[in-house]
Amino acid sequence: MPIEFDCPQCGARLRVPDAAAGHKSRCPRCGAIVDVPQTDIHETVGSPIGPAESVESAPSADATDTGWPNSATETGGWDAEPSVTQPSPYATSEPMAAAGDAASSAAQAIPTDAEGIARFAWAVCKENLGLLIGAVLIVGLIDTVLQALVERLSVPGPDRGAAAAAALVAWVIEAGLAIGYWRMVLKIVRGEAADLNDLLSGFRRIPVVFVGSLLFGTVIVAGFVVFIVPGVILSLRLWPYHLLLIEGRAGITEAFSVAWEMTAGHWALPILLSVIGFLAVILGLLACGVGLLVAIPYITVMWASAYVGLYDQRDRPQ
């Protein structure tokens, strides 16, 4: 039978399937990730007034990704990264589905409107602020050191080969860490266990993201060359393209159609998120620049939340 318990953050009554006992769930009201108790804590104390909100359990922190595709998971091609189908990590305010229903039939907690995304991202960011700031500092420090090394080797001299090699190595390291950072943020948004080791997970995605970026840039530039309006439309509709490649949810060519499908009816969302991000940077600068340590992670979590919300809405019942 379902397990009912109270969210320790906001006090909302939550309900999960009994199979979620001992796992983690995300509260649909405040976005906090909470531990599901082994038994219904209200069995002996009675049920207070008001219905419980249903949630779906997040993957256990001890779960192991085998790297092999599950029969219920559809991969996107030679360059799509296989994954194991797991229960949805988001909470949902919809009644629980029957035991035979597919997990994807439940509505997800991540909103798809700008205000809801901004609020959700702030809740997630506060909960994982230490990890996010640490990742930003590590990536920023490594990038700074690499750029200083490249500039030092780039001074006029006979050994131009060493400078070119250093620049290439620096680019690979910076690209791998940037992709790894986004993969870490996406895991956090999905309610999965994440740590600084995820920064190293992006290096294997460099070839796919690099080729995809060249193709994406060509499409966008062609849209602006033909006429400005098509370029703007393509930019507003295809912005999830890179995150699809980074996460391995689609192949290089398939990602275009998936991104187009995700953003249907949400063409203004990237504009609104850009405005919110700009305001976050301004506030960070006003805080003597220290606020950027919060603004930068918040902006990335906000875009990742928008991407996950739009991606998962494709499986929601209409």
Summarised one tens digit per residue, pLDDT across range 95-111 is 333 333 333 333 346 88
Q: How far is CA 88 from each of CA 92, 165, 236, 253, rounded to the nearest angstrom?
A: 10, 44, 27, 26
Q: What six digits make up the tokens of 60?
A: 């256990």
Residue 25 has pLDDT above 90, yes or no: no
The domains of the chain are located at 1-109, 116-313
d(CA 56, CA 97): 10
- pLDDT tens-digit map of 236-274: 999 999 999 999 999 999 999 999 999 999 999 999 999
Provide the percentage of residues in the chain whose pLDDT is more than 90.
48
Instruction: Band the pLDDT of 41: cuts 50, 70, 90.
Output: low
Mean pLDDT on 199-225: 92
Res 144 pLDDT > 50: yes
More confident residue, 57 or 303: 303
Say which DSSP state 85 is in: -
Instruction: State whether residue 53 is helix, strand or coil.
Output: strand
Average of per-residue pLDDT across 34-49: 61
Convert the pLDDT of each residue in 157-210 to its tens digit: 656 677 788 889 999 999 999 999 999 999 999 988 999 999 999 999 999 999
Residue-level pLDDT at 315: 62
Under 8 Å between Cβ of 143 and 176: no
283 vs 79, 80, 121, 205, 277, CA distance in Å? 39, 38, 16, 33, 10
- pLDDT reported for residue 74: 35
Provide the mean pLDDT of the chain.
Answer: 78
Q: What's residue 45's pLDDT?
A: 45
- For 5, 55, 68, the CA distances from 12, given in Å and listed in that order, are 8, 11, 37
> Whose structure tokens read 């035979």?
100
Q: Please state the φ and ψ torsions of residue 52, each to the nearest 5 degrees.
A: -80, 150
